[in-house]
Structure 1
Amino acid sequence: MFTNMSVRSLLRLSGCIFREANAVSSALSAEPLTCSTALLSGPNLRCGSFALQPQVRHYARAAKKSVAASPRHLSDLTPTMLKLDYATVPLAQTTDDVVKRLISLELASHKEKLELKKELLISKVQRDKNDRNSEEVRVAMLTARICNFQDHLQIHPKDKANKRRMLMAIDKRKKILKKLRLIRYDAFEKVCEQLGITYTFPPEYYRRVTRRWLAKKAFCLKVFKEVQKQKAEEKNKMKQNKVTKDANIAKAQ
C-alpha cells in the first residue's frame, strides 16, 4: 500500500516538473533575448531573463614600472664601419654603394659585430701589434664577453646558464687583474682606465655567516677567555711561590 502511494506521488511531481519546463521554454521562444545599452549601464546587468555579472576592471592592480634600458655596448659601432675581414682591404673604400653596404656593419650579424668590438678593445690595451696572449689582451677579451652577457640578460633576465657563465668570466677577469696589479701596476691602471673597469678589492676572508657558526664562535671566545684566566692565575701562583722561596732562603742565610 505504501509503495503504491509513493509511486503515485513521484508521478505527480514529475508531471508538475515537465509542465513548468514546457512553460519556461515557450516563454523564452515567444520573448527573444535583447540586450540594450541602457540595461548594460547599471551595476546589475540584465539580458532578457538572465542577469550578467559586471566586468572586472582590476583597478587595484599595480601598474608595471618601465625600467630605463642601459646603453648597449655595441651602440658605438656605426653602420658605415666595415667588417673585420674587409677593414684592411684597400679596394673596399673605392667600391660602389651596394658592395659597401654588403661588407659594412649595416647587414652584419651580431657575431661579426662582437668580433669587431673585441678587436677595438684589444687595440686599446695591447703592448704591440702581435700581442695576443698578454694579461691586458685577455682582460679586454673577457670584458667584451661580459658586456655581451649583460646585454643578453637585460632582455632575458631568467637565463640562469648565461648568468652563470657571466659570473665565471667576471671571476676569471678578477684573478687576471689581481695578478697584473702585483706585477705591472702601470699597465693595471691603463687597462682599468681604457676599458672602464672599476676594480674592487676582494675580502680577506670568505665565510658564510650562519647561526651555528655564530654560536660556535661565541663558545670558542668564551673558552679562550677562561683558558687565559687560568693561565694568568697559574702565573700569579708561580710568582708567589718564587717570592716565598726567596724569602725562606734569605731567612736561612
Structure 2
Amino acid sequence: MFTAGMALRTALKSSSAVFGESRVLMSSLMGTCSAPSCTSALMSRHDRTACGSFAIQPVRHYARPARKKKQVAESQLSDLPPTMLKKEYAAVPLAQTTDDIVQRLLNLELASHSEKLKLKRDQLIAKVQMDESDCSSPQVKVAILTTRIRNYQEHLQKHNKDMANKRRMLMAIDRRTKLLKNLRLVNYNAFENVCQQLGITYTFPPEYYRRITRHWLAKKALCVKVFQEVQKLKAEKKLKMKQSVASTHREASEKTQQNSL
C-alpha cells in the first residue's frame, strides 16, 4: 500500500509539472490574446486534449440517411365492413334487431382473422362459380387458392423470413398456374372471366432453353438419324402392306372372273 501511494504521488507531481509547462508555453505563444477569457478557453481546451487516457474525446454525430418507409400493400380483408354479419348468422332475421352488444358479437367487429378469411373466400367463390351447388370446378379451386395466396403474401410482408409459409405460397401458386393453364385450353371464356373477376394476371411460362454443347449436338444428330431410319422402315412396311393388299384384291378379282366363266 505504501509503495502504491508513493507511485501515485509521483505520477500526479509529474503530470502537474507537465501541465504547468504547457500553460507557460501557451501563454508565450499567444501573447497577442491578452484577454483572460481567451487564455482560459485555450488552456481548458489544451487540458482536455492533453490528458492522455483520462481525456474525454468529443463525439462526432454523422448524419444518417433518412429511412424510407415500407409501403404496405392493402389487405384483401379491408373491403369487409365491420358491421357485416358473420356467415353463420347472415340468414338469421333476429340478428339485425338485437341490441348493440349482441350485434358486436355477431358481426365482423370482434371476429377473428380466420372467420374474415372464410367470408372473403366465399365472396370470391360466388363471383366465379357456375351455380350455387358448384363447389369443385376449376374456377372454384382457383378462387380458393387465390384467397390463400394473398393471405400468405400479407403474412410474408411482415415476416419475410418465414420460409415454411413462403414454400406453401409457392406451391399454391404453381397449383393455381396449372389449373389456369388447363382451363385456358378447355374453356377460354371461363378462363378470361376468372382472371377478370379475381384480378389475376396470367403470365406464360418461359420458352425452353438449353445450353448448346458438343455432347448435346452429337446426341441430337444421332437421334435425328435414328428417327429418319425408323421413318424409312415404316414407309417400306406400309408399301409392302399396300402391295400385299393390292395382290390379294387382284387374286380375288381373278377368281371371281374364273368362276363367272
Aligned mates of 2:161, 2:47 — CA distance in 1: 44
SS across alignment from 2:184: helix
Residue of structure 2 aligned with 1:55, choices 40, 43, 59: 59
Query: Aligned residues, how many?
Result: 195
Does the CA-based 8 Å contact 1:83-1:103 persist in structure 2? yes
What's the TM-score, normalizing by structure 1? Answer: 0.66
Q: Which has the higher helix share?
A: 2
Does the CA-based 8 Å contact 1:146-1:166 persist in structure 2? yes
Does the CA-based 8 Å contact 1:125-1:137 persist in structure 2? yes
Does the CA-based 8 Å contact 1:45-1:54 persist in structure 2? no
Aligned mates of 1:113, 1:188 — CA distance in 2: 27
Residue 58 of structure 1 and its aligned partner are, at CA, apart by: 3.7
| Pair 1:155-2:158 in alignment | yes
Aligned mates of 1:90, 1:79 — CA distance in 2: 18
Aligned mates of 2:106, 2:46 — CA distance in 1: 65
Residue of structure 2 aligned with 1:220, choices 217, 221, 243: 217
Partner AA of 1:86 in structure 2: Y
TM alignment of 1:122-201, pairs within 5 A: 122-201=125-204
SS across alignment from 1:106: coil
Residue 57 of structure 1 and its aligned partner are, at CA, apart by: 2.0
TM alignment of 1:78-89, pairs within 5 A: 78-89=81-92
Does the CA-based 8 Å contact 1:81-1:104 persist in structure 2? yes
| Pair 1:19-2:6 in alignment | yes
Structure 1, unmatched stretches of 5+, are: 1-13, 27-37, 225-253
Partner AA of 1:156 in structure 2: H
Once superposed, which parts of structure 1, at least 4 consecutive aligned residues long, lie more than 6 Å away? Answer: 41-44
Does the CA-based 8 Å contact 1:44-1:53 persist in structure 2? no
The higher radius of gyration belongs to 2
TM alignment of 1:36-115, pairs within 5 A: 50-59=54-63, 61-115=64-118
CA 1:18–1:96 in structure 2 vs 1: closer, same or farther (change >3 Å)? closer
Aligned mates of 1:110, 1:43 — CA distance in 2: 66
Please provide the CA RMSD for this pair: 3.6
What's the TM-score, normalizing by structure 2? Answer: 0.64
Structure 2, unmatched stretches of 5+, are: 14-40, 222-261
